[in-house]
Amino acid sequence: MEKTLRRVLVGNYSDLPERLGKTVVIDDLEVAVFKLSSGKVKAIENKCPHKGGVLADGMVSGEHVFCPMHDWKISVVDGEVQAPDEGCVQTFKTEVTDDQVYLLIKE
């Protein structure tokens, strides 16, 4: 059975700080939302696969966030942890319409 996507409002695009994370809680899911220096909005699971660090608190450089606990480098595009470390976090699609940022969450 195919899952439908639910649009969840994050907030205004113009209010999102650049290169800083915003934590969004949807039911029991925590998502880190980032506005990159390129202007793109990316969203990933808000928990590092290593020790559960809060990724929304990490430093953003280009298309990567660095976990604030142990500096693991994680792609905000595909969720892959960069070598030599290993792992992956879930990614979420985002949509920007009329200055509104939405997360697209599978139901």
| Nearest C-alpha neighbor of 91 from the set 80, 107, 102 | 80
> pLDDT tens across 31-77, in order?
999 999 999 999 999 999 999 999 999 999 999 999 999 999 999 99
Q: What is the pLDDT of residue 15?
A: 93
- Tell me which amino acid residue 89 is: V
Sorted by where each starts, the structural domains of the chain and their CATH numbers stand as 19-95 (2.102.10.10)
Backbone angles phi, psi at 55, to 5 degrees: -70, -25
Q: Any idea how long the chain is?
A: 107
What are 77's strand-pairing partners? Answer: none
Q: Which two tokens stand for residue 1?
A: 């059975």
